[in-house]
Structures are given as C-alpha cells and as structure tokens.
C-alpha cells in the first residue's frame, strides 16, 4: 500500500473539523445535498485548492481569480465577485484560528433542473476550510514520489477546457490514481496521444538536466500557480528553463525530477516506472526557495 494511500485515510474525518461558508452565510455544518443535484450527476462543478501557512492563505487572489475564470469557462457564472470571496475566505480563516489549513472553494449546479442544459440551473458556491494534515513528509523521508504512467491519455485543449479546474476533468485522475496505487506507486504520470509528458494527477512536472529546468508546455494541462512560481524562482536565480515537448524516452536521460502543486509544494520524484532519480540537488534548492516564499510574512 502506498504512503499517500495510507495518509489519505486520515482525510476521512474532515467533515467533523471543517469550517464552512455557503451561498453567503457562515454555517456550523454541511447541509444535506439533494440527490437531484445537477453537478453531482454531470460533474458540472469547479473548485480550487488553497494552502494556508501561519493563519494566512498563500496566493489567495490568484486562486480565486482562477476559480472565477473556471466558472466563466463553463458558463456557470459565480454569484459572488472576487472581493466578496476574498472577504469570506479571510473571515473563515480568522474564525478557524487554524495555522496550517487547506481551503477548498467549490461551485456547482444545484437541484432546480436535471436536464443536460445548465441554462436554468441554480448555482451554489461554498468555501470549505480544514486543518492541513502533512501528507508529504513521509514521502520526503523516503526520498521522493514513485510515479507510474497512466493508461489514460490527456485530451487536447480542443476536447476539454484544460485551464479550468473543473470536476469532470478529474475522472481519469481518480481512476489512474486508484490503478497505480494498487500497484504500489504513489502517483500516476499522464502522457498525451503523441507520447509527450504532461503532468501527474494533481501536480505539474519538472525535470533537471545539466542544472537547467525542463518542463512541458501547458497546452493540454493546467498551468499551475506553483509551476509559475517555480519559473520565477528559476529566473531570479539564473537557472535556465526550457518549456518544451518532452517525450517518454527522454525521461531516463534526466538528472532529477520533481512535481509542483499547491498541495505537493515541491516534491522530489525518486522513480518513474523503473527509472530511479537519486540526485535532488536542484530540486532541494527550488524546494527551499519555495518554502521561503510561502513562509514570508
Ligand atoms: N495539475 C493538476 C491536475 C492539479 O490538480 C493541480 C493542483 N491544482 C496542479 C496541476 C497544480 O496546480 P497549482 O500549482 O495551481 O496547485
């Protein structure tokens, strides 16, 4: 059983410790969801994942802007503007007194209609906040994540709205994660129909070769906020970066590999299928620089 799988079991009790804002009100507990919820049937929902450090959300505005863009992309306009959402998040965080937390904005189509059309659907918005359990220190201790290629290919941006963080895009991620965990790996690595490296189930990917960063172009996958931070860290520190097509057979020529994401932060990869990465020198530097950023007051 993978380490991430074991640690995930701790998430099962989050309902009992979550702080909640929904449709304009702070609530003591989650209201029951109707079985006729349109978003539950068709995956018409958008969400965000935001980390909080020392009682402050990291990159709150950037995440909420992406949340609003995702909802607009799906033609499901959020009933609340950026300022209102920021204020609701800040009050929720203050009320929780949590130092390290995870904040999950969620928007979905309600139970007014169950036809495919979302034209007349009512739209709900919620903010869920809970204590952040450290899922990754065990991974860092064992030297990094093990990845296994997914059997599912990333669809093109002509097929799905790749820059929207929408629930219906996560089906292959959930399936792949379950499949590779059964084989004892931590995470799945996606490729596209041309064999280009894409991303993992919840993070972007970087390789290091001769002290330079190589990372795929985010044309068929989410251009993560953490990914963009890493590119800035590299630029500031004179580390060369190549955003380019990276094919599967190149992986074994790379010196290092790491994943980037709000939850993963900067997480070394120790294994892709049978290929080991034992050096993490540049990864450790990026990881430390990112840590300095999130902890900066
Ligand atoms: N790709 C996927 C599929 C993700 O779910 C995430 C996490 N949001 C990322 C990449 C990384 O994005 P970010 O750095 O904005 O968290």
Quote the pLDDT of residue 2: 45
Please give the number of the atom of ligand 1 that sits closest to the Cα of 170: 3
* Rounded CA separation 157/266 (Å): 26
Neighbours of 220 (CB within 10 A): 23
Q: Considering only CA atoms, which residue is closest to atom 5 of ligand 1?
A: 202
- Any bridge partners for residue 147, and if so which? 187, 272
Residue located nearest, by CA, to atom 9 of ligand 1: 203
Beta bridge partners of 186: none
Q: Give the pLDDT of residue 15.
A: 52
Q: What DSSP designation does 272 have?
A: E
Residue nearest atom 4 in ligand 1 by C-alpha distance: 202
Taking phi over 0 as left and psi of -120 to 50 as alpha, with beta for the rest, 271 belongs to: beta
Give the Å distance between the CA of 49 and the centre of ligand 1: 8
- Give the three-state DSSP class for 156: coil
The pair of three-digit structure tokens given for residue 10, joined into one six-digit string: 């701790």
Give the residue whose CA is nearest to atom 7 of ligand 1: 202
User: In this predicted structure, what is the pLDDT of residue 265?
Assistant: 96
Residues 6 or more apart whose CB falls under 8 angstroms from that of 253 comprise: 209
Q: Give dist(CA 204, CA 266) in Å, integer.
A: 10
In angstroms, the CA 263 to CA 266 distance is 9
Per-position pLDDT tens, the chain of length 297: 444 444 444 454 555 568 999 999 999 888 899 999 999 999 999 999 999 999 999 999 999 999 999 999 999 999 999 999 999 999 999 999 999 999 999 999 999 999 999 999 999 999 999 999 887 888 888 889 999 999 999 999 999 999 999 999 999 999 999 999 999 999 999 999 999 999 999 999 999 999 999 999 999 999 999 999 999 999 999 999 999 999 999 999 999 999 999 999 999 999 999 999 999 999 999 999 999 999 986
Which atom of ligand 1 is nearest the CA belonging to 227?
A: 14
Distance 204 CA to ligand 1 centre (A): 6
Interval between CA 251 and ligand 1 midpoint (Å): 21
For residue 63, the ligand 1 atom closest to its alpha carbon is: 15
**How much is the pLDDT for 17?**
62
Give the pLDDT confidence score for residue 239 in this predicted structure. Answer: 98
Where does residue 203 rank: exposed (0-12), middle (13-18), buried (19+ CB within 10 A)?
buried
- What does the pLDDT read at residue 59? 98
Give SS3 for 206.
strand
Who contacts 168 (Cβ-Cβ below 8 Å, separation ≥6)?
Answer: 42, 43, 44, 45
Residue nearest to atom 10 of ligand 1 (CA): 203
Residue ranges lining ligand 1, Cβ < 6 Å: 49, 199, 202-204, 221-222, 224-227, 260-262
Give distance in angstroms: CA of 252 to centre of ligand 1.
Answer: 24
């Amino acid at each position: 059983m993978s380490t991430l799988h074991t640690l995930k079991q701790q998430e099962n009790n989050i309902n009992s410790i979550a702080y909640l804002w929904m449709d304009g009100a702070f609530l003591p507990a989650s209201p029951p969801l109707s079985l006729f919820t349109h978003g539950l049937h068709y995956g018409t929902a958008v969400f965000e994942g935001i980390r909080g450090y020392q009682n402050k959300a990291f990159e709150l505005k950037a995440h909420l802007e992406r949340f609003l863009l995702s909802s607009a992309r799906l033609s499901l306009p959020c009933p609340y503007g950026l300022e209102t959402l920021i204020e609701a998040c800040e009050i929720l965080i203050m009320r929780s007194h949590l130092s390290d937390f995870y904040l999950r904005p969620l928007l979905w189509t309600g139970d007014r209609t169950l036809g495919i059309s979302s034209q007349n659907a009512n739209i709900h918005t919620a903010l869920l906040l809970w204590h952040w359990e450290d899922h990754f220190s065990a991974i860092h201790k064992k030297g990094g994540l093990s990845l296994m290629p997914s059997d599912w290919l990333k669809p093109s941006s002509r097929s799905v709205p790749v820059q929207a963080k929408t629930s219906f895009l996560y089906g292959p991620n959930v399936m792949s994660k379950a499949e590779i965990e059964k084989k004892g790996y931590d995470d799945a690595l996606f490729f596209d129909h041309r064999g280009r490296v894409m991303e993992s189930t919840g993070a972007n990917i970087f390789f290091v070769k001769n002290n330079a960063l190589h990372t795929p172009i985010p044309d068929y996958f989410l251009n993560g906020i953490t990914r963009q931070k890493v590119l800035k860290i590299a630029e500031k520190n004179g580390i060369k970066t190549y955003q380019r097509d990276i094919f599967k057979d190149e992986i074994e020529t790379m010196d290092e590999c790491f994943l980037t994401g709000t939850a993963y932060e900067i997480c070394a990869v120790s294994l892709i299928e049978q290929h080991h990465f034992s050096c993490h020198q540049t990864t450790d530097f990026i990881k430390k620089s990112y840590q300095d950023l999130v902890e900066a007051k």
